[in-house]
Each structure stands twice: as structure tokens, then as C-alpha cells.
Chains A and B, each alone.
Chain A
């Protein structure tokens, strides 16, 4: 089912995503998690037990394959914190791997000291290693590889299951492990423990690091005191060597791969899933593992020879190529990583959040604020995709209006027209009212701005439900947007229905005569319709609030009309503005005039009673009164305005 993965992601996100998103939470959790990394095995075992059993069937193959690819894995192991093993393996199993590794690492400047560092670190961590190395030859690297892989996988798992792990001493882990394996070599175990510890920690640290630069610096501080800070550099090496792994492991795949990319994906996935199963949930397999490993290790070494030759070639290449190689390595690494984590949407969310936070921080916006906004947007999109929103009888979609329509208009309102609103208190807090305004500006931008003004400036954030000409609803897109944002047909039935339901209704009775009048007639009110709005207000018994809008006349000054074009398109007029046909689409950008919107004191209609709507004389009188009020306010506003554009 399509919904399933996303659902899984949604379930994971709260657990996983929360520590990731909250910077402080992540920082606080990091040291604890790292400490727990070594001992985490027990916890991880529990949490992954289900998964591992489910994948038990595939678990066998990966382990075998892993073993055949001993060399590759060993390489990884060496590159990880268990660099102590590197010299050992070079001496015993395959010098080739070391050689192959050398050219690669040699190109990247950081790796060399890192390897040394790692070596020292490992020796300091495990003093008994040299003694042990003599006994285990081919098995050892394999074991290390397992451990490294397991550690990586477990690190992944820890990262995903955001439950804070109880920090326990690493000794306990190794002991538990020893009992599981049934073999006594203590020093060996410590090495493994060290290995386990190594890669898990930097992986998380590294993954989180780029998200916020600030966090990266916080990373090393919160690290365990005993650990060398150079781990990050070591990790770099891990990435490189890891990237080699798929290509090396590929030939060991029993099924002939049809397409190399997919096959490698599959193989890595199996490896990744198989490893932890083997090491953690099914300890019995572990005992038999060394035998298998030694057996298949030969196969692995055979492949190593080929890769060794390849590696030598690499040694001759220039630094540029190495850089490209690094990129490819990163991609391969990414691919491998992706196959590790099957519930991908989590990664998607994580990536998105990281990028977002980084972007927000760099843009100087608080990351939390940006995150909240994005979360709201996503929630809105989800509601859209599932149809989980309400549309009323007029087609008004509040969810859309608040989240899309008004935010789209706000830049115009605030920045472009710098709308100044006066007398917003004249709009009642509740109950119906009819807002009547002057219409101008070629397109009905004034009504849209009034809508924003009422919603943004009014303490109750009321929606202005506007009445639009039927032409609006005939046009595709425009009509739909109009209906969604609360506009309905300018007809008495709709107006009365809206007013009766206690809505705040906006009407521009001049209609197209007002919007389409030439610039020379600016701020001269046209005929106020047939007074239908007054009779609607009378019937509903609601007050009429006159609104005067100054500034809209100048956004598209109509210098001329193209009646032929208008007739052709079925429009009431086809304007010629200083910019419009001349500059093409650019001419559709409105001029940035300064706007003033003044709501006048409401004109009560209740005293006339509903029957007064049938008295034409009264209706005409009221219409004229409203018209005159608006006209006078317009004049006074024009006097107050310093300049058209300032």
C-alpha cells in the first residue's frame, strides 16, 4: 500500500526526528548515546530482534558474502577506529589490500595522519592486540569487519530509534559478547569493542555535523574525554574505504547481477541487514562464523588481487581524479547507506530538516521558526492531498485562504502597496455587516487588499466574504480561487444568505464601471449599481460600513481601451496602461502606489426594518448616503496623501 511506508516514516519521525531537530536535545543526547554505543548492543539487540528475525533468511547470504569480501571488509575495519588491525592484516592476510589502500588514502591528505592516529588509538585501547594477532589470521579481519559493519548498522539503528540508551560500561558489552561467542579471547574482544565503538560514533556525529555549523563545533566537546578528537578524520577514511566495498563485494554475489547498480544495491542491503542479525540477535551463528570466514576468505582474497591492481592504477592518478573519486565514493557510500535503511522517508525527512536548518541558520532565521513553518506547510499539503478540509456552501475554503491566499497577498499588502488602514474598529467584532467600497485599479486588487486588511488588522481576524461579478466565476482558475477565498456571486440571494449567517460581506457596487474607468476619472465614484446591496443589508438588518480605498487607482492607470480586443475576449474592457501592452507580461506588474484604506463609521439599517428593502426611495437615499460618505472620505484621504508613491 502506498500509504504504508509514509506511515512508518511518520511513526518513526517523532521518535527519531525530535532529537535531530531540537539542537539542544541532540547535543544532550549525543554524549549519552555515544557512551551507550559500545554497550548498546544489548539494547539494540532487543530493538532489532524483530527485524533481524524477519530478515533471517537473507542474513545467511550476507554473512557469507561478507566473509568472501573479507579483504574489503578488513579494509574497512582497518580504516575505522580499529586501525590497530591494519598493520596486522597487511602482514598476515593480504599485503595487497594495504597497498591498494595506500594510494587511495595517500591522495587525501587527512588520511595518513589519521591512520597513524587510529593505530595509536587502537593500541592504547587494546594493549593485548599484538599478542592476539598471531593466533588469528584470516579470521580476525573478518571478525573486525563484522564488528565494524555491525557497529555501523547499529549506529544507524541507534540513530533511528531515538530512545535514549542507558550508558553502560563497555566491559559489560564485551563480556556479554564473550558469553555469546563462547570463546575466551578477552583481548580480541576488547578490540572488537573498540571497533564497535569507533565507527558508530563518528557516523552520527558526522551525519549531523553538516546540518548546522554550530553543532559541528559542539560535537567534539561533547565527546568522551578519553577519545581522540581526530575521530572525525578517521571517519573520512572510513567513507573512502567503505565506498570501495560495493565494487569489491559485487563479484562475490552468487547471483549474476543483471544490472550492476541494482545488484550492488541489493548486495549491500543484504550485507547491511545481515550483519547485525548475525552478531547481535543470533549469537549461535557467531561461533560457526570463523570457520566459514576462513573458508571464504580465500575467495575474497582472490578478488583482492584484482582490486589491488586497480588500486595501483589509482596511485598513478592525479589529485583531481582523487577528488572526483572522493565524490563518487561519497555517492557510493550514500547508495550503500540508503540500502541499509529501508524506511527511506525517515531519511528524506531528516535530510530535508537538515538542509532546512542549515539554510535557515545561514539566512539568519531562527531554525525553529523555519522548521515550524515548514511543518505547517507540510501539514497543509497533507490536508490537501487527503481532502481533509472543509468547504462551505459558498465554496469558501478557510484552510486555503489562511494558508495560501492571504500569505500570497501579504507581500503586496505590506511591501508593495504599504497599505495603511484606518478605522478598523468600525467593523463589528461579530455579526453580519456589509462593507461597501469604491472600486478601481483595472483588476480588483483593491478588494483583495481590503480582504487582507480586514483579516490582518481586525482583532478578531474576520474573513471578508466578497461578492463578485459572474464574469469572475466564468473564468477558469480565477473563479476557483475567488470561490475558495470566500467570494461568491453578487446576487441578492447569496448576499442575504451570507449576511444572515453573520458573515462580514464586502461589496464594490461600482463593478466594472469602477475598475475599468480611465485614469482621468480617478477617485470619481461611478453609479452605485441599482442599490441591491442596500436592500440586502436592509433585509438582513446589518450595518453598512463604507470603506474608502486610496491608491488602487494608480496601480494600473488606464490610458485607453481596446474595445475590439475586449469584445474578442469577452471582457468588459481591455486596458492600455503605460506599461501593459508595451512591456508585455512585465506590464502586469502593478505600480507601487501607497495605499490608504479607511473604514468609516457604520450606517445602521436595523431601524428601517426588513420591509424597508421594498421601498425604492429609501434604498436610493441610503445608496446615495453611502456613496457620498465614501466620496468625501476619498477626497480627505487624497488631501492627506503626501505623494502617490510614498
Chain B
């Protein structure tokens, strides 16, 4: 049913992955990849169209190519890649508005697929253990990507009211991890010393990059599903993650975490904004019943498997840490042996 697909954000990692995967589907006649910068990676048989979704030109492209399915993957979570928070917000909010305006005008569009995020649920101590799709956040995300996602979802909801004939599938993805993708969370666990909120141990759900792409493909080609949470099965806590990633942790009081988060962001180690701090403290759980029943998607990776796959490709926290470990254990063994010997001697 999807013949001509327009993909926004194709130069980003997940967009490129999606375009490559979609290229293998023979039922798709034409794939248009839209982004402001040419992709550095292969986008399969997708045709790259250099266009800014913040510009009304996107409407002309859609009309020309008679696009019937629009896949919006250009909601950006990492401001570092795009040149700061202002640009990020521009692309996320204004870009979505323009894209939806073009969709509303378009005669050909039959389906809209939006990659949203679980960040719309926010993160607070008053959260239920699992969010179902119809639950509202206990505390609305007030800054950053979470707020953008909420606004994007608001515009999509408005669009669905105005164009009820367009099928809408909106996937709220849990944090995407994988061997190649770079997100705030992958940067965070790649830090040589991971600052964790003191006294909190949040629960995380992850979705593997392959699963995220597969879910988007299914949303494009499968039945319309509405709003669907997408996450791997199971949970990991922050301490479990750091243990799996074999990273030393430094507990930081949550009050000081904003400052430290800023330092980390400035230093360029991790693209981490302060709105994600509450997420690190309280985590989030997604109910994925709809993912199975409505979207009929079965993730290949559990949360743990996804994270382990990511952690496998992590470099050790400190280069040459093997040698250090050897020396340390050697010294420890020596001390222990000496102690045991002395212990033996001294004891009458």
C-alpha cells in the first residue's frame, strides 16, 4: 500500500538505517530521503533530496513525487549534532509544523509515521511503574527534547483531527541503543567515569537500533497502529548498566547534578542536557502490550541484550586498563600472600 515514501532526517543514523532497510522492500516503488545535509552513509536506493523541512518547499516535493507515506524521523534528541538547543528546537518544532502543513495540503498522503519518544512521559517519582499509551505524564517535560517531543505529538494530534483520512502511527521509542548509534544515553555510559545520581537507581528500558528500525518499517508497511510504545522486554537499572558497560561510577547529589551535567556537556564527552537528569534519577517504564497486539511487533532484543550489544562495542574506560588491572591484582595478591604468611608466623 505504501508506494512512495518520503523519509525526513535521512542523514541521521537511524534515518539512514531505516532507508537502507526499507530499500529491501520490493513493494516500495520510490523512497525519497530528505535532509539538510547529504548523508555520510548509504541510504540504499532512496533518492536524497536536499531540503529543509522548515521550508515550504517540502510541500512541492511531496506534490511532485505524489508521496503517499510520510515518515518523520527528524525529531532530534541530540542538540550537539545540530548546532545547539535553538537549532534543535527549530528543527523539531518548526520542522514538524511545516511538514504537517505540507501533509495537510497534500492530496496524495495516506499515512503519516512519526518517530516520537518515550520522553513525552517525563520522569518523576510519582510515575506509575509502566506507562500505557493513554496515560498522561505526571510531570510534563519542561525543557529540551522531551518538551519538543510533547509539542511534536501535539501537532500530530492536531493534524489527525484535521485530516482524519490519513492513517497515523506514532511510535514512542524507548532509549535507542546499539553498537553504532550515538545518543545521549550511549554517550553517557561511554564516559570513562559515569556520574550517577546519589541515592537513586533508575529503571531503564532500551530498544536496539535494529528493533527501532524494524518497528518503523512495520509502522510504514503494516496496519495503522496509532500511538504505540516500543521498548525491549525487561529492565536495567543505572547501576546494572554501568556494571555491564564496566564503567566506574561516581555518585553525585541530584542537586549538584545540573552543574556536573553542564560541565560534561561543555567538555563534549556526552551530549547530555539537564532535562535528562530526572530520567537518570527515576527512569521510566513503558507498557508494550500495544506494540505486540496492535503493531504486531516482536522486538528481537530484550533491554539487556540491546544494552549488552552496545556495551560489547564500548572501548574500555581507560586505555591500557588491562595492564593496570594486572599490576593491581598482582600487588593485591602479593599483599595477601604476605599477610597470610605473617598471619601464619605470628599465630602461635
A residues with a Cβ closer than 8 A to B are 1-6, 206-207, 209-210, 239, 265, 326-327, 329-331, 333-335, 337-348, 350-351, 354-355, 384-387, 389-395, 397, 470, 473-477, 479-480, 483-484, 488-489, 491, 493-494, 497
> Which of B129, B328, B335 contacts A394, CB < 8 Å?
B129
CB contact under 8 A between A355 and B128, given known A331-B338, A389-B240, A476-B198: no
Q: Are B333 and A347 in contact (CB under 8 A)?
A: yes
Q: B38 at interface (Cβ–Cβ under 8 A)?
A: no
Top 10 closest pairs, chain A to chain B, by CB: A344-B333, A476-B199, A2-B325, A387-B243, A334-B341, A338-B337, A334-B338, A330-B345, A348-B336, A351-B340
Residues of chain B in range 326-348 having any CB-CB distance to chain A below 8 Å: 326, 328-347
Q: Are A338 and B341 in contact (CB under 8 A)?
A: yes
Q: B239 at interface (Cβ–Cβ under 8 A)?
A: yes
CB contact under 8 A between A489 and B254, given known A206-B344, A391-B235: no
Q: Are B129 and A337 in contact (CB under 8 A)?
A: no
B325 contact set on A, CB distance < 8 A:
1-5
CB contact under 8 A between A497 and B239, given known A333-B345, A342-B333, A344-B334: no
CB contact under 8 A between A2 and B234, given known A338-B337, A347-B336: no
Residues of chain B in range 185-213 having any CB-CB distance to chain A below 8 Å: 197-201, 203
Q: Are B341 and A333 in contact (CB under 8 A)?
A: yes
Q: Are A474 and B337 in contact (CB under 8 A)?
A: no
Q: Are B203 and A391 in contact (CB under 8 A)?
A: yes
B243 contact set on A, CB distance < 8 A:
384-387
A4-B326, A480-B200, A493-B129 are known; give 16 further A-B pairs, CB within 8 A: A330-B341, A331-B338, A334-B337, A334-B341, A338-B335, A347-B336, A347-B337, A354-B340, A391-B237, A393-B129, A395-B283, A473-B282, A479-B125, A480-B199, A489-B126, A493-B130
A479 contact set on B, CB distance < 8 A:
125, 199-200
A392 contact set on B, CB distance < 8 A:
235
CB contact under 8 A between A395 and B203, given known A5-B325, A331-B342, A493-B128: yes
In the assembled complex, the CB of A335 is this many whole angstroms from the nearest CB of chain B, namely 5
Residues of chain B in range 12-27 having any CB-CB distance to chain A below 8 Å: none
Q: Are A330 and B342 in contact (CB under 8 A)?
A: yes
> Which of B235, B334, B342 contacts A339, CB < 8 Å?
B334
What are the interface flags for B226-254 relative to A under an 8 Å C-beta threshold, 1 for contact and 0 otherwise?
A: 00000000111101111110000000011
Expressed in whole angstroms, the Cα–Cα distance for A327 and B285 within the complex equals 60
- By CB atoms of chain B within 10 A, which of A334, A337, A484 has the most? A334
Q: B135 at interface (Cβ–Cβ under 8 A)?
A: yes
Q: Are A348 and B343 in contact (CB under 8 A)?
A: no
How many of chain B's residues have a CB under 8 angstroms from any CB in A? Answer: 54
Expressed in whole angstroms, the Cα–Cα distance for A477 and B325 within the complex equals 31
Expressed in whole angstroms, the Cα–Cα distance for A461 and B74 within the complex equals 51
Q: Are A480 and B332 in contact (CB under 8 A)?
A: no
21 contacts between A and B (CB under 8 A): A2-B322, A2-B328, A5-B329, A207-B344, A329-B345, A330-B342, A342-B333, A345-B329, A348-B332, A348-B333, A351-B336, A351-B340, A354-B340, A354-B343, A386-B243, A387-B240, A392-B235, A483-B203, A484-B201, A488-B129, A493-B132
In the assembled complex, the CB of B5 is this many whole angstroms from the nearest CB of chain A, namely 35
CB contact under 8 A between A480 and B201, given known A239-B345, A338-B335: yes
What are the interface flags for B299-334 relative to A under an 8 Å C-beta threshold, 1 for contact and 0 otherwise?
A: 000000000000000000000011011101111111
For A470, give the chain B residue with the smallest CB separation.
B126
In the assembled complex, the CB of B227 is this many whole angstroms from the nearest CB of chain A, namely 17
Expressed in whole angstroms, the Cα–Cα distance for A351 and B127 within the complex equals 48
A477 contact set on B, CB distance < 8 A:
199
In the assembled complex, the CB of A331 is this many whole angstroms from the nearest CB of chain B, namely 6
Expressed in whole angstroms, the Cα–Cα distance for A355 and B336 within the complex equals 12
Expressed in whole angstroms, the Cα–Cα distance for A484 and B322 within the complex equals 33
Q: Are A391 and B130 in contact (CB under 8 A)?
A: no
Expressed in whole angstroms, the Cα–Cα distance for A395 and B235 within the complex equals 8
Expressed in whole angstroms, the Cα–Cα distance for A210 and B128 within the complex equals 57
Q: Are B336 and A489 in contact (CB under 8 A)?
A: no
Expressed in whole angstroms, the Cα–Cα distance for A346 and B203 within the complex equals 37
B332 contact set on A, CB distance < 8 A:
344-345, 348
B346 contact set on A, CB distance < 8 A:
327, 330
What are the interface flags for B131-158 relative to A under an 8 Å C-beta threshold, 1 for contact and 0 otherwise?
A: 0100100000000000000000000000
B199 contact set on A, CB distance < 8 A:
475-477, 479-480
- By CB atoms of chain B within 10 A, which of A331, A350, A480, A489 has the most? A480
A350 contact set on B, CB distance < 8 A:
340
> Which of A206, A327, A387, A397 contacts B244, CB < 8 Å?
A387
Expressed in whole angstroms, the Cα–Cα distance for A346 and B330 within the complex equals 11
- By CB atoms of chain A within 10 A, which of B127, B132, B341, B343 has the most? B341
CB contact under 8 A between A387 and B236, given known A348-B332, A470-B126: yes
Q: Are A395 and B237 in contact (CB under 8 A)?
A: yes
In the assembled complex, the CB of B126 is this many whole angstroms from the nearest CB of chain A, namely 4
A354 contact set on B, CB distance < 8 A:
340, 343
In the assembled complex, the CB of B147 is this many whole angstroms from the nearest CB of chain A, namely 22
B242 contact set on A, CB distance < 8 A:
387
Expressed in whole angstroms, the Cα–Cα distance for A489 and B285 within the complex equals 13
CB contact under 8 A between A2 and B321, given known A344-B329, A395-B237, A473-B125: yes
B329 contact set on A, CB distance < 8 A:
2, 5-6, 344-345
CB contact under 8 A between A341 and B128, given known A387-B244, A391-B240, A479-B200: no
Q: Are B326 and A351 in contact (CB under 8 A)?
A: no
Expressed in whole angstroms, the Cα–Cα distance for A614 and B343 within the complex equals 72
- By CB atoms of chain A within 10 A, which of B130, B234, B326, B345 has the most? B345
In the assembled complex, the CB of B258 is this many whole angstroms from the nearest CB of chain A, namely 15
Expressed in whole angstroms, the Cα–Cα distance for A479 and B197 within the complex equals 13
For B240, give the chain A residue with the smallest CB separation.
A387
In the assembled complex, the CB of B218 is this many whole angstroms from the nearest CB of chain A, namely 23
A480 contact set on B, CB distance < 8 A:
199-201
CB contact under 8 A between A489 and B347, given known A347-B337, A348-B333, A387-B241: no
In the assembled complex, the CB of B314 is this many whole angstroms from the nearest CB of chain A, namely 14
In the assembled complex, the CB of B131 is this many whole angstroms from the nearest CB of chain A, namely 9
In the assembled complex, the CB of A354 is this many whole angstroms from the nearest CB of chain B, namely 7
What are the interface flags for B20-57 relative to A under an 8 Å C-beta threshold, 1 for contact and 0 otherwise?
A: 00000000000000000000000000000000000000
In the assembled complex, the CB of B142 is this many whole angstroms from the nearest CB of chain A, namely 18
B282 contact set on A, CB distance < 8 A:
473
Q: Are A337 and B343 in contact (CB under 8 A)?
A: no
B132 contact set on A, CB distance < 8 A:
493
A494 contact set on B, CB distance < 8 A:
128-129
A330 contact set on B, CB distance < 8 A:
341-342, 345-346
- By CB atoms of chain A within 10 A, which of B126, B240, B285, B342 has the most? B342
CB contact under 8 A between A337 and B337, given known A387-B241, A389-B240: yes
A473 contact set on B, CB distance < 8 A:
125-126, 282
In the assembled complex, the CB of A499 is this many whole angstroms from the nearest CB of chain B, namely 13
> Which of B235, B333, B344 contacts A345, CB < 8 Å?
B333
For B347, give the chain A residue with the smallest CB separation.
A210
B339 contact set on A, CB distance < 8 A:
334, 351
CB contact under 8 A between A210 and B337, given known A342-B330, A488-B129: no
Q: Are B235 and A393 in contact (CB under 8 A)?
A: yes
In the assembled complex, the CB of A151 is this many whole angstroms from the nearest CB of chain B, namely 17
